[in-house]
Amino acid sequence: MALSRQELVGRAKELAPVFAQRALRTEENRAPLDASVRDMIDAGVLAALTPKVYGGHECSIDTMSEIVRIFSAACPSTGWVSAFYMGAAWRAAIFPEQAQREFFAGKPYILCAGQAAPLREVKRVPGGYRITGQTPWSSGSVHAEWITFMGALVEPGGAPTPLAFMVPRGETEMLDTWFVAGMRGTGSNDMRVDNVFVPEYRTASMALALTGDTPGQAIHANPMYRLPFIPFLMCEVVPVLVGALRGAADALLLRTRERQGTISGIKAATKQAPQMRLARALACADAAETLLDAYLERYLSRRADRNELLERSGMKLKAAFITDLCRNGVNDIARGIGGDGFRDASPLQRYFRDINMLAVHAFLDIDNAAETYGRLTLGLPIEDPLI
């Protein structure tokens, strides 16, 4: 039975305190806990974007983003993986209908990991392709049942053709490489394939996906499934930063109320500097949420002309700007948390590490996004292929 936005958001709010309690163990596990993935499945949230024809709720993209914000305020790593598992239902639409029916056979969600880095080798063979290579940053790989790989087909006399491939987990190898400073609980390991055959029907054109024009997207009446690809990815990942900043601001509020000088005995809540820092943190969290809402409204109300390169580049810049705002906000918070705020048990240091790591993600880097948009605005050629 399809659930409403209100029902799904309500279930996410019920899970959030549980995920917050598990946040340290999630980091130590270097991947979401089995229980957390099972909780999300049982709550039905992973089917939020799945088309009703495949047994899902077919809620709007902003419903997914709201759920991700809620989870990320509790545990950014769990929120990040939940975003990719929910978003997998939308991304499945770039593939042909035969593949979509295979992905959703037996259940209305897809546990799918993927990465943007291209494979080393893509060869055309009868009936499909053979792919080889190792790629990093495969978030959610520990529990994934499908892995998406990117690669470019290069044939004599032709330009590189960017493609996406969907591969069953059993045909891939996961390498235990996820040892990092932030987002430790995402299980973003390297994935490897060695001369794996991928049938044509489990292959999609990334050139068409970037503008929302693949044949698989065209079969859906709901226009949500025919939107440009990269701005959708921002709808998955930016709510993680926005939610994490809200979590950090709330944690700072609690710490400010409880903190007391070891020598002076003066309560932090009675001092001007902590009061001002707390106010800035809460204002920054409010601003980030407002900007994200505006981003979602613009993307979901997209007119036909918004497939243009400049518009898509502008959306990427907006996402990077929100990211930079969250980074600056959490860094200001970190300057006032004291030594105890950097203990492993403190959520504040986790938000600090996680947001700073996400802010240098290739898709979210403010400098790269600003350069591309600036060049397009000035009529100059660009190098970024993922817009």
Do the first three CATH levels of 5-109 and 227-377 match, i.e. the same topology?
no
Collapse the DSSP code of 297 into the 3-class scheme (helix H, G, I; strand E, B; otherwise coil) and give the result: helix
Please tell me the predicted confidence (pLDDT) of residue 157: 83
Residue 16, φ and ψ in degrees, nearest 5: -55, -50
Q: What is the pTM of this model?
A: 0.96
Tokens representing residue 306 in the block: 């918004």
Asked whether the predicted pLDDT for residue 304 surpasses 80, the reply is no
CATH number for the segment(s) 112-204? 2.40.110.10
Please tell me the predicted confidence (pLDDT) of residue 303: 52
Query: What stretches of the chain show up as alpha helix (H) in DSSP?
Result: 5-21, 23-29, 34-43, 61-74, 76-91, 97-103, 206-211, 215-218, 229-258, 272-300, 309-334, 347-358, 366-377
pLDDT in tens, 320-367: 999 999 999 999 999 999 899 999 999 999 999 999 999 999 999 999
Please tell me the predicted confidence (pLDDT) of residue 385: 83
CATH number for the segment(s) 227-377? 1.20.140.10
Please tell me the predicted confidence (pLDDT) of residue 387: 87
Please tell me the predicted confidence (pLDDT) of residue 386: 82
Instruction: Give burial (CB, 10 Å; 0-12/13-18/19+) of 13.
Output: middle
Average pLDDT of the residues in 118-134: 97
Pairing verdict, β 146-153 and 112-118: parallel
Asked whether the predicted pLDDT for residue 45 surpasses 90, the reply is yes
Collapse the DSSP code of 374 into the 3-class scheme (helix H, G, I; strand E, B; otherwise coil) and give the result: helix
For the CA atoms of the chain, what is the radius of gyration? Answer: 21
Question: CA-CA distance, 288 to 22, in Å (whole number)?
Answer: 25
Domain positions in the chain are 5-109, 112-204, 227-377
CATH number for the segment(s) 5-109? 1.10.540.10
Asked whether the predicted pLDDT for residue 263 surpasses 80, the reply is no
Q: Which residues contact 132 (CB under 8 A, 6 or more apart)?
A: 119, 120, 121, 193, 194, 195, 196
Average pLDDT of the residues in 215-221: 97
Average pLDDT of the residues in 263-282: 90
Question: CA-CA distance, 297 to 69, in Å (whole number)?
Answer: 16
